């Protein structure tokens, strides 16, 4: 295992400590509880937004904490759900009297632990709602999931709901908006190479020297199929078409097109995928209203790409454009 780490068991805490030192103006970090919290939290009169999940998907979620996005992120060990106490502590930390929204990626451990934390918070009269994101069209059930997995759509939901909370929307309204984002977003990913969890010390799966996996999960869970490497154009079609046909996206729709690096993919390759995606969308009469290209929901050093498409409406566009100031996503105010 070739990684820039010290002890595998200290990876998450040391990385959180490093984040705290890099962004003191944006966040504070509770290293003991593995929480990244917006510096000025709790913001009175604003719905608090909490997300979280296993580490190894950075910048998700800690990198999205700050003005206009998340109020707190709970970091589990690598590829391992955080525990209910973390989410419960986060809910208390960010509750500004208007309640707390949990945005949860659909993995069994995450869903169960966020549910327990919601009960704990509600027992102390903190209003909590949870919305589960399940945007991955690749597989129905999978290794860690009943139903579809939550992937890139989560980034978009967190940005859009963060903006709605910032303008003062109620908990019901922010939760409903989050559900609306989830209903209109679809994703699918692929891998060229596996990733190695530091505590495991070896890759979580194997791929042959010319083999790729289509429909991979962000923990390396099996996808739809393995095959020989094909051209970027062909692979982009294999990802885009199931996404487009699933919702389905239609002629006249406008979308946010998100091409995500699984961690180790050069920008050159992401832009080549974006170029083909643009052509496919144009061919179906779908316009790209907004875009996001880069490593935002990763799987450690995995090489590969995922595509996420969100059907936008006027309100989502306005909220997407609203100011955001976090370590990983910054927009002009």
DSSP assignment of 117-158? HHHHHHTTT--EEEEEE--B-S-SSBTTBSSSPP-THHHHHH
Minimum CB separation from a second copy for residue 225, in Å?
17
How large is the C-alpha radius of gyration of the chain? 19
Considering only 147, 278, 284, 318, the residue that binds a second copy (CB under 8 A) is: 278
6 binds a second copy (CB under 8 A): yes
333 binds a second copy (CB under 8 A): yes
Using CB under 8 A as the binding criterion, the count of chain residues that bind a second copy stands at 66
Strand partners, 225: 214
Per-residue HEC secondary structure of 152-185 comes to CHHHHHHHHHHHHHHCCCCHHHHHHHHHHHHHCE
- Give the x/- contact pattern for a second copy in 45-84, rule: CB under 8 A: ----------xx-xx---x--------------x------
Q: Which is nearer to a second copy, 30 or 173 (CB)?
A: 30
DSSP assignment of 53-68? EEESSTTTTGGGBSBT
Q: Which of residues 150-189 bind a second copy (CB under 8 A)?
A: none
Considering only 229, 237, 246, 247, the residue that binds a second copy (CB under 8 A) is: 229
160/154 Cα distance (integer angstroms): 10
210 binds a second copy (CB under 8 A): yes
Strand partners, 27: 38
Cα of first residue to Cα of last residue in the chain, in angstroms, is: 42
User: Could you tell me the sign of the dihedral formed by the alpha carbons of 10, 121, 71, 109, in that order?
Assistant: positive
For residue 219, indicate whether it is catalytic. yes
Pairing of strands 254-261, 211-214: unpaired
3-state helix, strand, coil in the chain (%, to 5): 35, 25, 40
Q: Which two tokens stand for residue 127?
A: 């209003």
5 binds a second copy (CB under 8 A): yes
Minimum CB separation from a second copy for residue 123, in Å?
34
Minimum CB separation from a second copy for residue 30, in Å?
16
Considering only 8, 264, 317, 318, the residue that binds a second copy (CB under 8 A) is: 264
For residue 57, indicate whether it is catalytic. yes
Q: Given the residues 38, 105, 180, 219, select the one marked as catalytic.
A: 219
150/135 Cα distance (integer angstroms): 5
Q: Which is nearer to a second copy, 59 or 84 (CB)?
A: 59
Minimum CB separation from a second copy for residue 268, in Å?
5
263 binds a second copy (CB under 8 A): yes
Q: Given the residues 46, 57, 105, 148, select the one marked as catalytic.
A: 57
Q: Which is nearer to a second copy, 182 or 306 (CB)?
A: 306
Minimum CB separation from a second copy for residue 163, in Å?
14
- 12 close to 61: Cβ distance less than 8 angstroms: no
Considering only 212, 214, 309, 316, the residue that binds a second copy (CB under 8 A) is: 212
224/214 Cα distance (integer angstroms): 6
283/187 Cα distance (integer angstroms): 19
- 64 close to 155: Cβ distance less than 8 angstroms: yes
125 binds a second copy (CB under 8 A): no
Torsion of CA 133, 138, 143, 147, to 10 degrees: 50
The contact set with a second copy (CB under 8 A) reads 2-6, 11-12, 14-19, 21-23, 55-56, 58-59, 63, 78, 192-193, 209-210, 212, 229, 231-233, 235, 257, 259, 263-275, 278, 288, 291, 293-295, 298, 300-301, 303, 305, 323, 325, 327-328, 330-333
Active site residues: 57, 219
């Amino acid at each position: 295992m070739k990684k820039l780490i010290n002890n595998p068991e200290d990876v998450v805490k040391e990385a959180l400590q490093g984040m705290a030192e890099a962004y003191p103006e944006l966040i504070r970090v509770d290293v003991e509880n593995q929480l990244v919290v917006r510096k000025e939290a709790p913001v009175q009169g604003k719905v608090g937004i909490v997300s979280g999940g296993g580490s190894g998907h950075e910048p998700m979620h800690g990198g999205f904490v700050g003005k206009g996005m998340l109020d707190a992120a709970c970091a589990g060990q690598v590829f391992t759900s955080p525990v209910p106490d973390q989410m419960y502590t986060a809910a208390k930390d960010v509750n500004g009297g208007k309640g707390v929204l949990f945005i949860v990626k659909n993995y069994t451990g995450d869903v169960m632990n966020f549910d327990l934390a919601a009960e704990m918070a509600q027992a102390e009269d903190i209003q909590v709602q949870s919305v589960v994101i399940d945007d991955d069209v690749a597989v129905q059930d999978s290794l860690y999931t009943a139903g579809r997995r939550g992937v890139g759509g989560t980034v978009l939901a967190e940005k859009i709901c963060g903006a709605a909370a910032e303008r003062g929307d109620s908990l019901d309204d922010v939760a409903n908006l989050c559900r609306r984002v989830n209903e209109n977003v679809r994703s699918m990913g692929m891998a060229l190479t596996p990733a190695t969890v530091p505590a495991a010390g070896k890759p979580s799966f194997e791929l042959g020297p010319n083999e790729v996996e289509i429909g991979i999960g962000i923990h390396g869970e099996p996808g739809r199929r393995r095959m020989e490497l094909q051209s970027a154009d062909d692979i982009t079609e294999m990802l885009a078409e199931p996404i487009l046909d699933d919702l389905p996206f239609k002629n006249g729709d406008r979308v946010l097109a998100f091409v995500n690096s699984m961690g180790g993919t050069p920008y050159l390759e992401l832009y080549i995928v974006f170029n083909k995606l643009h052509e496919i969308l144009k061919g179906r009469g779908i316009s790209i209203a907004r875009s996001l290209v880069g490593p935002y929901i990763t799987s450690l050093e995995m090489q590969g790409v995922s595509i996420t498409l969100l059907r936008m409406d006027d309100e989502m566009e306005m909220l997407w454009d609203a100011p955001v100031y976090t370590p990983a996503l910054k927009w002009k105010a």
